[in-house]
Copies of this chain bind each other. A is one copy, B any other.
Amino acid sequence: MPTNRRRVTLKDVAARAGVSPMTASYAFTRPARVAADTRDRVHRAASELGYRPDAVGRALKSGRTHQIGVVFSEHLAYAFDDPQAAQFLAGVAEVCVEEGQGLTFIPTRGDAADAGRVLSAAVDGFVLWTTAQDDPVLAAVAGDPRPAVIQGGPPRQGIVCVTQDDYRAALAVASQGLREGRTPVVISFPLDRDRERMVTIGAELPSHAPFPVTDARLRGYRAAIEQAGLSWRSTPIAVVARNTQRDGVEAARDLAPQLTPDALIIAMSDELALGARQALLETHPEAAYLGWDASPAGRQLGITSVTNPLRDQGRRCARAALDPGRPGDQEIPWSIVSGGGACT
């Protein structure tokens, strides 16, 4: 039983090196402030003892945890099922590694205690993933002095926003798809936090969806459809629970009874479009598909899509969350890609 189970503390190191705890501390945090031989003695003592600085003690005194807190305002595990969320996280993670910061996921479960959990987290700043207007976590974070950044909105005083102009992009991509005179149907992200799968029509839709991204895209699709002289009110709309191919398959099955052979499937993601395509390949070989995110798989299968560089947005969010200067909102440019070419 060689190892001593008690934590090795800075005081132990100082004692062994024959210096005060302060000198030992400086030997690690400000090596230049300490005489070379003293510093070496401290370092030697530390490695002999197996000393590691304790992040908690350090954080308490210094007030900085060197952690970025990431919040997905719904069940945390969903974050890993959505490939777009994964891309976003990869971007956040890249910056964390570059800046020597840790990455803490703040667990949320959609209940009333979420706001408290978020505010109590031992992090220096917050990165939030798109959420609903009325999400209480938003209000909580907005009132916290730590920097906070949100991808996809909603915009809010006290929270920096990194977004695309989803309305214009949706209008543009749908308009392009409708040029061929096809009959549109829409596959939409959830309309509320219940995430209930359903089929409806434009006329039945609430005037505003609480998720700003979903809301803006729906408005864009609507404008495109009406500008094409078609009826939004009677356009079939499938609402999915999550952004997965599986949900795209289900949505397509739900829509199938109302589908014309020349249907234009307007989906809010390539993921959903790919699922729909797979479900309809045999029954509706002439259908066309619009997606979002410009995934390689989507491009390969001829899905027209909107670029949405989420990895880059993850990077921007992380950088902003690290910057106590509260930089301004950022709008990410987009373009439409179809079958290999890009325009606008």
Per assembly, the copies of the chain total 2
Q: Is the CB–CB distance between A122 and B120 below 8 Å? A: no
Which A residues between 76 and 103 are near B, CB-CB below 8 angstroms?
Answer: 76-77, 79-81, 83, 86-87, 89-91, 93-94, 96-97, 100-103
Q: Is the CB–CB distance between B100 and A53 below 8 Å? A: no
Q: Is the CB–CB distance between A120 and B60 below 8 Å? A: no
Is A52 positioned at the interface, with any CB of B under 8 Å from its CB?
A: yes
Contacts of A112 in B (CB 8 A): none
Q: Is the CB–CB distance between B116 and A107 below 8 Å? A: no
Contacts of A79 in B (CB 8 A): 90, 93
Closest to A108 in B: B97
Interface size on A, residues (CB 8 A): 48
Whether A77 contacts B52 in the complex (CB less than 8 A), given A104-B67, A107-B102, A121-B102, comes out as no
A selection of 27 A-B contacts at a CB cut-off of 8 Å is A52-B116, A56-B56, A56-B65, A57-B60, A67-B104, A76-B93, A76-B96, A76-B97, A76-B103, A77-B90, A77-B93, A77-B94, A77-B97, A79-B93, A80-B87, A80-B89, A80-B90, A80-B93, A81-B90, A93-B107, A96-B105, A97-B109, A100-B107, A102-B104, A102-B105, A102-B106, A104-B105
Question: A57-B60, A67-B122 given. 18 additional CB < 8 A pairs?
Answer: A3-B143, A5-B145, A50-B143, A52-B120, A55-B122, A56-B56, A56-B122, A60-B60, A76-B94, A76-B96, A81-B86, A81-B90, A86-B86, A100-B107, A103-B104, A104-B105, A105-B105, A246-B296
